[in-house]
Structure 1
C-alpha cells in the first residue's frame, strides 16, 4: 500500500479509502491510485481486511440434493442476490440428511469464516432433530420447518397445491389423482396435504396417493398405470418433471391431452411452456426467495440480536396453459373411488 501511495503521490490513508470504496476521494485521485495499483500489481489482502472489519463477505450455503429443480433454482437465486450485495458463497452439499451431516457442515462453514449461513433443506429434518449452530452465526432456512428457532423463507406450497387441485375440479373433473414427491420431502408433504384437503372440502373422492421421486421417469411409471384407467381424467403432479413423464405415458396410451386427461404440474420450469401441450403449472418465485434470504440474513449480520425469528411466505400462482380443459366425456360419474 505504501508503494502504491508513493507512485500515485498520495497518502496511504487515501489508498485505503480507494481500496475500501469510500466516497471521500475525488475522481482524479481515485484514477491515479487505481492506475498505480494496476502498475504495481497490488491486490487488497482480503484476509487482513476481514480480520480488521470482522466481515468476510462470504455466505455459506448448505444444501441437500443438487438434483432437485427447486433446490437448484433457489441456490441460483441466493447466489445472484449474494453477488448483488457484494458477497460470495461457499457451498457444502449434504448427501445424507442426518443430524451429524448437517451439524458437521455448519461447523465446517464456521471454521471457513462466513458471515452467515443459508440452509436449503427440503427434507423433513430440521423440524425433527436438533441441529447445532454456533452462537451468534446468522442463519436463514429455506424450504423446511425450523419451528420458532430460525428465520424461514419459503414459497406458499399449500396455496399452490390448492390452486392446482381446485382448477381441475372447477373444470368439471369428478376428482383429481395426485403423483406426490418423496415422503421425505417437506414440500411434497405440504402439497399432498393441501391436495387432499381441497378434495375433501369439495366433497370429491380422494384417490390413493402415488409417490414419485421428482424425476420424469417416476411420473412416467405412474402415468402408465393411470393411463390404463379410462376413468382417470385429471392428474396433479407435484412437480413439472413428473408431469412431463405423465404426459408421455398418456400420449403412448393414445389418451389425448387435454380432451381425455388434464394434467397440472408444480414449479413452472422455463421449459414448461414448451411441452406439448404447454403445461398448466404452479409458479414459484425463486428469485424473490433468494432476495428475501439475503435481505433477512444481512439484517441479522448488520444488527445482531435485533431480528426476531419468523417465517416469510412467498406467494405462488397458477399459470394456465393448454394441458387442462373442461371434462368432455362423462366417465367415472358412478364409480366409487378408493
Structure 2
C-alpha cells in the first residue's frame, strides 16, 4: 500500500487496516488475551504492510507484562487531579512502570472514543481513570472489560476496583458541623459530579434531609471560581444565607472574596466551609475551614490496586473518609441578621 505521509504508523492505523478495534491490536501484540487465528493474521498482515513497530513489545514478550500504564483524566492542572496524578506516577515509577496520561476533553461519545483509542494506542498493562466528573465516568465505561482498570473517585459505582475518597460522607459531616453551629440551612456551591447518587452534593443533601431541612437550590459553579465569586456577590445582598459549603477550596476562596468586597464578614455574618485542603487554604483570610483530602495517597492506592489486578488478585476497592479541618471561616450563626 502506498504511504501518503511520512508520519510513523500508529496502532490506530493498524486497527483501521485490519478492520478490528485498537484493544484487539493491543491483545495481539501483547499476547495477554487469546485472539482468533483469523483476526490475529489480519493484524499481523496490517503490521507488516504498514511497517508498524509497537513500542515496548519486545520487553513485553520477555516479561509477559507491559512496562506502561495508561491514565485517563479530564484535567491535569487542578489541585486534586494534579496531586492524584503525582501519587500515581511516583508509585508507578518506583515499580518500574511508565505512566502515559491521556486528557479526555468531554463526555461526548466522539471525545470519549478518541481518548480511549489514544490511551490504548501503545501496549499498556492496565489503566487508571480519574472518575471525578462525567468525562471520567464515560471513559471508564468505554474501556474494554478485559483490561485491568482501577477507577479513582469519590465513591464506588460499579464492579471495577475503586480507590475512593468518600466525599459523600465527608460532605455530610461538614454540613452537619455547620448545622450544629446553629445555622438553619446550608447553601451549596457545587463542583461537577460523576453521578447523580454520589459526591459532595449527595452528602450535603443527606445531612439536610436527616435534619428535616428542605435543601435550598444548588448553585452550580462547575470548576470556575469566577462563577462562585458572582454567586458570592449575590449572596452578599441577602439576609437569609448564613452558611455555605463550597465544592472545593478555590470556589470557597472566590466566594469569600466576593462577600468581603461587599462588606460582609466571614464568619461573623456568613460561615464558609471548603473542600480539599488546598495548600493555600490555611493562608487565606480568614484561614479556611475545609475537608482535607489526601490526593497523593489516593493516587498511590490506585496504583497498588492496579498492581493487585495485574497479579491476578480478586476485585477489591480501597476507601478512606476525608476529615474536616477546623480553622476560622466557620462559626456560630449570627444572633440577628445584619441586613
TM-score (normalised: structure 1): 0.76
Aligned to 2:225: 216
Aligned to 1:239: 248
CA contact (8 A) 2:104 2:136 kept: no
In 2, Cα distance between equivalents of 1:220 and 1:189: 25
In 1, Cα distance between equivalents of 2:138 and 2:90: 31
Instruction: Note the C-alpha offset of 1:187.
Output: 8.9
In 1, Cα distance between equivalents of 2:156 and 2:170: 21
CA contact (8 A) 2:129 2:140 kept: no
Instruction: Note the C-alpha offset of 1:231.
Output: 2.5
Deviation string for 1:1-52 (max 9, x for gaps)?
A: xxxxxxxxxxxxxxxxxxxxxxxxxxxxxxxxxxxxxxxxxxxx96533331
Aligned to 2:201: 192
1:20-59 to structure 2, matched below 5 A, reads: 48-59=58-69
Aligned to 2:332: 326
1:1-338 to structure 2, matched below 5 A, reads: 48-124=58-134, 131-134=141-144, 136-143=146-153, 147-182=157-192, 185-186=194-195, 190-303=199-312, 306-308=313-315, 310-331=316-337
CA contact (8 A) 1:288 1:314 kept: no
In 2, Cα distance between equivalents of 1:285 and 1:129: 24
Partner SS, residue 164 of structure 2:
strand
Partner SS, residue 131 of structure 1:
helix
Aligned to 1:34: none
> Highest CA radius of gyration, 1 or 2?
1
Equivalences, count: 284
Name the Cα RMSD after superposition: 2.6
CA contact (8 A) 1:124 1:186 kept: yes
In 1, Cα distance between equivalents of 2:149 and 2:284: 38
In 2, Cα distance between equivalents of 1:259 and 1:299: 50
In 1, Cα distance between equivalents of 2:156 and 2:89: 22
Distance 1:148-1:210 versus aligned 2 partners, 3 A rule = closer
In 1, Cα distance between equivalents of 2:76 and 2:196: 16
In 1, Cα distance between equivalents of 2:331 and 2:155: 35
- Alignment gaps of 5+ in structure 1: 1-44, 333-338
Partner SS, residue 59 of structure 1:
strand
TM-score (normalised: structure 2): 0.76
Instruction: Note the C-alpha offset of 1:98.
Output: 3.1
Aligned to 2:26: none
Distance 1:299-1:261 versus aligned 2 partners, 3 A rule = same
In 2, Cα distance between equivalents of 1:75 and 1:269: 16
- Alignment gaps of 5+ in structure 2: 1-54
In 2, Cα distance between equivalents of 1:162 and 1:271: 24
Distance 1:133-1:255 versus aligned 2 partners, 3 A rule = closer
